Amino acid sequence: MKNEFLSIVNKKLIVSCQALSDEPLHSSFIMSRMARAAKMAGSVAIRANSVVDIQAIQDETNLPIIGLSKVDYEDSPVYITPTIKEMRAVASTGAQVVACDVTGQARPNGEKLADIVKQMRKEFPDTLLMADTATIENVKEANELNFDIIGTTMHGYTPDTEGLNIADDDFSYLKEVLEVAKHPVIAEGKVDTPQKARRCIDLGCHAVVVGGAITRPLEIATKFINTVNA
Ligand SMILES: CC(=O)N[C@H](C=O)[C@@H](O)[C@H](O)[C@H](O)COP(=O)(O)O
């Protein structure tokens, strides 16, 4: 039976607690404390990168997790849970959701997304799969592959969508995604104010993920400094 993740996060905020090795807060302990703060504020789930961070956050908060594993491969631009190896590792933590890149770009080792999804359904039937998409074409592929959740995570982060933002033109891209998607949409990517997060819910998203605007102090401080120093 599928887990209760979607009912838990319905119309709610999910905080993404992530810091890569080149970021000042890179540490599973620090990410677990970020997750503690998010839980205290009322976040109902956490998005987390890497097995070690997921485990630290599970131990600290016991909140449901959207898990992913960012790994760079030489033969592919896909880095969010790119192969079956990362998908299995994240699912094996017990994360309620495994998120992976669905941008249509070639995966490492020539792996095919359809095969990965099929294998995951066999091995982890109760784990939800979230598609981190960039374009409407990607949303259609996520529909065809029957992903449980469709995210806008990669919009603005691929060659086809560089510089774009889901909030542009009063969220016109997000409105299109909501039209096309056949599964619940979670808004994610550059949602950097409470008002924008609320707008995503009001437009019909199932939930909304906010990361950097809450958990990346370098990003937050830089915005302040750029404005003060302007
Ligand atoms: C592009 C990419 O790798 N995005 C990652 C996906 O997990 C995270 O680094 C983002 O922080 C997350 O999507 C939340 O987005 P924002 O931090 O803009 O609220």
CA of 156 to the centre of ligand 1 (A): 11
User: Distance between CA atoms of 42 and 189, rounded to whole angstroms?
Assistant: 20
Angle, alpha carbons 135-85-108 (nearest 5°): 50
pTM: 0.98
Ligand 1 centre to CA of 126 (Å) is: 25
CATH label, 5-229, candidates 3.40.30.10, 3.30.70.141, 3.30.565.10, 3.20.20.70: 3.20.20.70
The CA dihedral of 34, 153, 208, 114, to the nearest 10 degrees, is -110
Token representation of residue 27:
């540490």
149, 183 Cβ separation under 8 angstroms: yes
> Quick one: CA dihedral 39, 41, 46, 47, positive or negative?
negative
Which residue's CA is the closest to the ligand 1 atom numbered 10?
211
Task: Tell me the pLDDT of the chain (230 aa) as tens digits.
Answer: 567 999 999 999 999 999 999 999 999 999 999 999 999 999 999 999 999 999 999 999 999 999 999 999 999 999 999 999 999 999 999 999 999 999 999 999 999 999 999 999 999 999 999 999 999 999 999 999 999 999 999 999 999 999 999 999 999 999 999 999 999 999 999 999 999 999 999 999 999 999 999 999 999 999 999 999 99
16 touches ligand 1 (CB under 6 Å): yes
Through-space distance between the first and last CA atoms of the chain, rounded to whole angstroms: 54
Gap between the Cα atoms of 227 and 12, Å rounded: 30
Index of the ligand 1 atom closest to the CA of residue 213: 19
Burial track 51-72 (b if 16+ CB lie within 10 A, e otherwise): bebbbbbbebbebbbbbbbebe
How is residue 30 written in tokens?
Answer: 């620090």
151 Cα nearest atom in ligand 1: 13
SS3 127: coil
Do the beta carbons of residue 56 and residue 39 sit within 8 Å?
Answer: no
- Cα–Cα distances (Å) from 151 to 1, 28, 58, 174, 200, in that order, read 22, 24, 22, 10, 12
- Domain edges within the chain: 5-229
Ligand 1 centre distance from Cα of residue 209 (Å):
9
Pocket test for ligand 1, best of 22, 153, 154 (most atoms within 8 A of CB): 153
Check pocket membership of 81 for ligand 1, CB cut-off 6 A. Answer: no
Q: Does ipTM top 0.85? A: yes
User: What is the 211 CA–ligand 1 centroid distance (Å)?
Assistant: 6
CA of 87 to the centre of ligand 1 (A): 18
